[in-house]
Amino acid sequence: MLKIRGVVVPKTWDENGKVVAITILTHDEDEYHVEAGGRGKELKTFIRENVEVLGTVKPQEGIKVIQVKDFKLHKEIEEKLF
């Protein structure tokens, strides 16, 4: 399992402009494409939000793809610290 922190951004859209795939951009400039199944599909509602994601990374054709097992919004992480 790997834990990453970053911002959820759209990767691809359908013909109506709806987001169909997302990516997490980390603060150290890594990019993780989010697998659509499991908890990954829930992240679509958090575009432009900072998140912490726990998951399994599977390289596919030179691209890092993460299967999300769990995630927390940055706000939830801050609340636990203070």
Give pLDDT, residue 82: 43
pLDDT, tens only, 26-41: 989 999 999 988 899 9
Residue span of the structural domain in which 56 resides: 2-81
CATH number at residue 43: 2.40.50.140
Tell me if residue 82 falls in helix, strand or coil. coil
What is the count of structural domains for the chain?
1
Global pTM value: 0.85
Residue-by-residue DSSP string for 11-65: EEE-TTS-EEEEEEEETTS-EEEEPSSGGGGGGGGGTT-EEEEEEEEEEETTEEE
> Most distant CA pair in the chain: distance in Å?
43
